[in-house]
A and B are shown apart, each in its own frame.
Chain A
């Protein structure tokens, strides 16, 4: 059974204070690891897909990296508008089902 564990559950940063979110996973035959951002009361918004260990993707202040056991979402010099819940998910095997972690609630104070 695929499993995804995200840590920490919640993270509070000051504006400009860089940090990282962790996503540990176990999956049979990784097809992809996905990062989403979710604002309160809204659907998840796609950020990145990573396919293999060593891969990195960047978008504005966010950078996602992947190893064989975990992924990190690095946030550089965050702004208050980066406040959201960040979700990690994996798909494995022969279908396209996603298994999600419970998310990290990020709060960036001005």
Chain B
């Protein structure tokens, strides 16, 4: 079974803080993704990475950056947290062998005060 873990389930930060969200997968997948999920807006893609040190912007990259130094780990960085970044953040890892499938982590619920 694919396992995707996220560093925190719940996080409370102050406006202006730098925030790191970490995601780890144990299946040697090349492609990893960061989404945010908001009521009424659904899941929206922030960034994705198709290999170590490779990244590409998704649909809503503003205010975020990412880091992928090792294949199993994909980090989302909020350079200066703002209240409109309060959301549920979901990481996913893509399996290509067999049926193409993105597997999601449990999510991090971030509250920015």
Binds B, one of A17-25, A61-69, A98-106: A98-106
Q: Which of A97, A101, A102 is close to B40, meaning CB atoms less than 8 Å apart? A: A102
Complex CA distance for A103 and B31, rounded to whole angstroms: 24
Chain B interface size range: 20 to 34
Binds A, one of B13-21, B66-74, B78-86, B96-104: B96-104
Q: Which of A34, A41, A101, A102 is close to B102, meaning CB atoms less than 8 Å apart? A: A34
* Secondary structure type dominating chain B contacts: strand
B43 at the interface (CB under 8 A from A): yes
Residues of A near B31 (CB, < 8 A) are: 96
Interface residues of B (CB under 8 A from A): 4, 31, 33, 40-45, 48, 50, 56, 58, 90, 92, 94, 99-107, 109
Residues of B near A45 (CB, < 8 A) are: 104
The residue on B at minimum CB distance from A44 is: B104
Q: Shortest distance in angstroms between A96's beta carbon and chain B's nearest beta carbon?
A: 5
Residues of B near A87 (CB, < 8 A) are: 42-43
For the complex, count residues of A whose C-beta is within 8 A of B. 22
Q: List 24 A-B contacts (CB under 8 A).
A: A31-B100, A32-B100, A36-B104, A41-B107, A41-B109, A42-B106, A42-B107, A43-B107, A44-B90, A45-B104, A46-B102, A49-B101, A87-B42, A91-B100, A95-B48, A96-B31, A96-B50, A96-B94, A98-B43, A98-B45, A98-B102, A100-B42, A100-B43, A101-B42
Q: Which 3 A-B pairs have the closest CB atoms?
A: A43-B104, A102-B42, A100-B43
Residues of A near B107 (CB, < 8 A) are: 41-43
Complex CA distance for A56 and B94, rounded to whole angstroms: 22
Complex CA distance for A35 and B49, rounded to whole angstroms: 22
